[in-house]
Amino acid sequence: MSVDACAGLVSRGDPDRFLAVLAAPAPVRARLFPLYAFNLEVARAPWVTQEPLIAEMRLQWWRDVVENAASGAAKAHEVAGPLHEVIRDFGLPIAVLDKLVAARRWDIHRDPHEGIDGLETYLEDTGAGLMWLAARTLGASEVAEAPIRAYGWATAAAGYLRAAPELAARGRQPLPEGITSQDLARRGLERLAEARAARRLVPKAVAPALLAGWQTEGILRQVVAGISSPELPEAQKRWRLMWQAFSGRW
């Protein structure tokens, strides 16, 4: 049970976020790794079994972990223990954490999202919520919540579009009827523009929590251009991450 264990999980299961944390200053990494490891564990819970009931139980276990953060329950778990410390040390909102877990119930079943509103809510509760939680560990106040969530939503949309072919291959329906990948990518670019228009509200100290979105614009623009399996070239990915980490701009 340690931050190192969380870092190992993120390294293996979410390499892009792992690189984003490595690009952040060393003192903040211990705040981000437990949160990202928690997100990884929750995101993959629906996929480790073919039995919906077991997947539901796994997600409920994580909801219980979040709810019991104040009591220190489940400390022996390699992610739950460090997560509890981050929740308590930085006063993370339990409701946001709970929504992040509950939203993943969609991944268990094969029903489509309930229209574009359902998909937007899914991205809000997962990606936008996660980025807001990460920012909270770095001292973000409610004044900065709207632009941070907008940036997180755009980042979630980009990640979702990257995952859409695999979701379809696993029998899911990633996009509601009448909504195309380009439609979602354009919405993501709109949210990205909203975030940047209010960037002045986000303190510079929060910038490391936003590094996870360093590929967002590039991926969204690829989808708008008609690329069905968007992926930035490795050299471009590294350059974008280095630029954002150095400049603090997103």
| Helix, strand, or coil (residue 177) | coil
Say if residue 63 is in the same domain as residue 7.
yes
Q: Are residues 84 and 181 in the same domain?
A: no
CA angle, 187 then 191 then 196, to 5°: 145
Domain membership of residue 52 as a residue range: 1-108
Strand, coil or helix: 35: helix
Query: Per-10-residue mean pLDDT for the chain, 250 residues long?
Result: 90 97 96 98 94 95 88 71 94 97 95 96 98 98 98 98 94 94 98 98 97 98 95 94 96
Contact 157, 185 (CB under 8 A): yes
Q: Are residues 12 and 97 in the same domain?
A: yes
d(CA 39, CA 164): 18
At residue 72, the pLDDT reads 58
Helix or strand holding residue 183 (H, E)? helix 181-197
Number of domain units in the chain: 2
- Residues 112 and 176: beta-carbon distance below 8 Å: yes
8-state DSSP, 248: -
Look at residues 176, 168, 182, 175 and name the one whose alpha carbon lies nearest to residue 223.
182
Gap between the Cα atoms of 75 and 151, Å rounded: 32
pTM of the model: 0.95
